[in-house]
A = this chain, B = another copy of it.
Amino acid sequence: MVSIHKQEARKLSISLVSPSSRDLGPNCGEDLDSEFSEKTDEEPADVYGVGDPAAKYSQMSPHLSSRGSIIKCFRDAAEEGYRAYFLDKYDEDKNPNGIINFGTSENKLCFDLLSSRLNQRDMHHMEPSLLRYPNWKGHLWLRNEVARFLSYYCKAPVPLKPDNVVVVNGCASLFSALATVLCDPGEAFLIPSPFYGAITQHVYLYGSVRLVFVHLDSRVTGMDSRPFRLTVKKLEIALQGAKTEGIHVKGLILINPQNPLGDIYSQEQLQEYLEFAKRHKLHVIVDEVYMLSVFDESAMFQSVLGMDRIPDPQRTHVIWGTSKDFGISGFRFGTLYTENQDVANAVASLGCLHGICGTVQYQMAQLLQDRDWIDQVYLSENHARLRAAHAYITKELEALNIPFLRTKAGFFVWIDLRKYLPVDTFEEEFSLWQRFLDHKVLLFCGKSFECKEPGWFRLIFSDKIHRLQLGMQRIRKVLEKEPQLAQTSLPASPWTIAVSQNEVASDSESKELLWKYGLATRSPV
């Protein structure tokens, strides 16, 4: 059954996702390079930016400290879209006119599989040691399982060690803890942008650590081989720029597979970035939280933990968790792997503030050790469902003539709506975001990812077909009303998709396949 799914999914994937001549697979940049004319070396001023959350939020509360007031503003700001969403959530039966959430990066395709696994008898274990204070690094038997799990899935050349593992309640906590123990207040990490925007608050809320954005660019320039490509040159410019501004940069954050771009770094790229960090004695935090969500089987994922030689192992710290790859963000489970015992112990010291329930630690150990279920049931099915959902959404985007970055991993598509902005500003981007929300579809706009070009949006596709369909109908409705800029007046967008009918499955074919993968409901809206 599983293998049939796999085959069908591959067929679907090939028919819907196979790159067109203008599509941007990770290795197609060279062609594009020669195709477009605006290849200029970046001006340093374009290439980096310095985040300053305190400047953004200045409203003081009479009962809070200065930092408390800023911390509160983070919640107020985050709630803007969510408040509307939570008050008027889409529900097939109870609120069919409610808001569809294409914003939050969650995998909603596999609750059935996870619920069923987590409800099995072996999960319901109770013993006094689980009810008592744990070791704040995590129970040893869990760290053993994490080390085994990561050794296997990251293809580690030698078995990873449980002593190098710390488990806490989610990857957000790991960012917070690492920022605090690696940086003093006001110090900074480099991070390529666009990036998963919540990291700003994870390192700032408690840590008062700032981010220096290494701005990536949709233009394919002399330095790049693909849009939004991270190069060492950009890292160097940003680092030097920050230094000139008196900012003490202590490390580099890499997300791989990247969120929101979906990029998977090649072994060579990784090596280059890590060598750059080593040269400058920078710590590297590598967030591999989507490592098992590489749904396209033609893609190769290279974990840092699977490298034959990590350039500076004492300054290399890898984050993984179950939120994305197992679609259980509500479980709050994140793991750090670092050979640096000072870092591990300092993070563990903060562990008393990031503890996980003992019975949940037990369940996570049971889950991670169940290699049969993960390999033979879960991953294959999850990837098939992701492929099918991705195929559906990208086909819709093609039909709407919306350019997007084609990806093989993650739950998101990075879409280019610049032609719908009458003026090239973030105010206009926000205004478009608001119109989507008015039409009951929540997206995240580029500003949330510190993208330097207004007009980009991240669309989450890891959802059931009836919600994808309804959401796309609403997006279509908004965009149909928008005056479009003539293509010629836009900065050239090299990865605009040329939709060719013979490249995509017919609507009915696609629907049938989606039905098979359990993505469709019996009565799609």
Instruction: List chain A positions with a Cβ less than 8 A from chain B.
Output: 61-69, 71-72, 74-76, 86, 104, 106, 108, 111, 114-115, 118-119, 124, 126-136, 169-170, 172-173, 176, 180-185, 187, 198, 201-202, 205-207, 250, 283, 314-315, 327-333, 340, 342-343, 345-346, 348-350, 352-360
- Cβ contact of A108, chosen from B128, B314, B353, cutoff 8 A: B128
B67 touches A184 (CB 8 A): yes
A71 touches B169 (CB 8 A): no
A131 touches B114 (CB 8 A): yes
A330 touches B65 (CB 8 A): no
**A contact patch SS:** helix
Q: How far is the CB of A162 from chain B (nearest CB, A)?
A: 15
In this complex, what residue of B is CB-closest to A338? B63
Q: Once the chains are docked, how many angstroms separate the CA of A218 from the CA of B185?
A: 41
Contacts beyond the supplied A72-B349, A131-B329, A172-B355: 13 A-B pairs with Cβ under 8 Å: A62-B342, A64-B342, A65-B180, A68-B346, A71-B181, A72-B181, A75-B348, A118-B359, A119-B126, A170-B353, A170-B355, A201-B352, A206-B353
Q: Can you pick out 24 interface pairs between chain A and chain B where the beta carbons lie within 8 Å of each other? A: A62-B342, A63-B283, A63-B314, A64-B343, A65-B183, A67-B185, A68-B346, A69-B346, A72-B349, A75-B348, A75-B349, A111-B128, A115-B128, A132-B330, A133-B330, A169-B357, A172-B352, A172-B355, A176-B353, A198-B352, A205-B350, A205-B353, A206-B353, A333-B357
In this complex, what residue of B is CB-closest to A104? B133
Q: Once the chains are docked, how many angstroms separate the CA of A331 from the CA of B133?
A: 8
- Cβ contact of A64, chosen from B61, B64, B346, cutoff 8 A: B346
A63 touches B315 (CB 8 A): yes
A169 touches B115 (CB 8 A): no
Q: How far is the CB of A337 from chain B (nearest CB, A)?
A: 15
- How many chain copies? 2
Q: Once the chains are docked, how many angstroms separate the CA of A376 from the CA of B354?
A: 34
Q: Once the chains are docked, how many angstroms separate the CA of A134 from the CA of B327?
A: 13
B181 touches A330 (CB 8 A): no
Residues of chain B with a CB closer than 8 A to A357's CB: 169, 330-333, 356-357, 360
Q: Once the chains are docked, how many angstroms separate the CA of A358 from the CA of B114?
A: 14
Q: How far is the CB of A34 from chain B (nearest CB, A)?
A: 44
Residues of chain B with a CB closer than 8 A to A67's CB: 180-181, 184-185
The 3 closest A-B pairs by CB, nearest first: A68-B181, A330-B358, A75-B349
Q: Once the chains are docked, how many angstroms separate the CA of A72 from the CA of B178?
A: 12
B130 touches A330 (CB 8 A): yes
Check A169/B206 contact, CB under 8 A, given A64-B343, A360-B360.
no
Check A353/B354 contact, CB under 8 A, given A106-B132, A108-B128.
yes
Residues of chain B with a CB closer than 8 A to A86's CB: 135
Check A118/B126 contact, CB under 8 A, given A72-B181, A348-B75, A353-B202.
yes
A330 touches B72 (CB 8 A): no
B340 touches A63 (CB 8 A): yes
Residues of chain B with a CB closer than 8 A to A115's CB: 126-128, 131
B182 touches A328 (CB 8 A): no
Q: Once the chains are docked, how many angstroms separate the CA of A328 from the CA of B201?
A: 31
Q: How far is the CB of A442 from chain B (nearest CB, A)?
A: 13
Q: Once the chains are docked, how many angstroms separate the CA of A334 from the CA of B126?
A: 21
Residues of chain B with a CB closer than 8 A to A72's CB: 181, 342, 345-346, 349
Check A180/B202 contact, CB under 8 A, given A63-B342, A332-B356.
no
B172 touches A74 (CB 8 A): no
Residues of chain B with a CB closer than 8 A to A183's CB: 65, 68
Check A346/B184 contact, CB under 8 A, given A106-B133, A250-B65.
no
Q: How far is the CB of A283 from chain B (nearest CB, A)?
A: 8
A71 touches B180 (CB 8 A): yes
Residues of chain B with a CB closer than 8 A to A358's CB: 330-331
- Cβ contact of A182, chosen from B68, B119, B202, cutoff 8 A: B68
B329 touches A132 (CB 8 A): yes
Q: Once the chains are docked, how many angstroms separate the CA of A389 from the CA of B136?
A: 29
A332 touches B349 (CB 8 A): no
Q: Once the chains are docked, how many angstroms separate the CA of A201 from the CA of B348?
A: 13
Residues of chain B with a CB closer than 8 A to A356's CB: 169, 332, 357
B64 touches A181 (CB 8 A): yes
A66 touches B184 (CB 8 A): yes
